[in-house]
Amino acid sequence: MILSDTHVFIWFVNGDDKLSEKYIKILTDEKSKHLSVISCWEISLLLEKDRIKLKYPFDDWFQKALKVSNVKLINLDLDIILTYHQLINFHSDPADKLISATSICKNMPLLRFDRKLIEYPALKIVKV
């Protein structure tokens, strides 16, 4: 069981060469893959800022991406918010903090690409 970071999910679905074969193997082999609903919001923001491009309109892309990747969404809940509130000395990105809180709260290792997330002691990271 793993939780995917937003960029890892985007790159996996889009077949981006930024992901090594190790990431692709983990995402292909893992049977229980999850994504925080916060990643949906983060992808929407990245599109608004023109920082990413998708092959289809956002709603179509997301529906297809979830189906093809066999990823299940995790909704935001009170336990995640309470965990978020307890994360101290975390860097300033609220999406990263919410995704990390989801990982900690749901006891799911995080498959990430962002080096800033590696250093947070309470966070279990999938070793790649």
Q: Give the model confidence (pLDDT) of 87-127 as tens digits.
A: 988 878 899 999 999 999 999 999 998 776 666 778 898 98
Type of residue found at 40? C
CATH number of the domain residue 8 falls in:
3.40.50.1010
* Structural domain contains residue 70: yes
* Structural domain contains residue 124: no
* Structural domain contains residue 15: yes
- Residue with structure tokens 């092959």? 55
Cβ atoms < 10 Å from Cβ of 97: 19
* Structural domain contains residue 47: yes
The token pair at 17 is 């060469």
- pLDDT tens by residue, 37-61: 999 999 999 999 999 989 889 999 9
Beta partners for 74?
A: 36
Domain enclosing residue 18, as ranges: 2-118
Quote the pTM value: 0.92
Cβ atoms < 10 Å from Cβ of 27: 22
Q: Are 104 and 97 in contact (CB under 8 A)?
A: no
The token pair at 22 is 């190790």
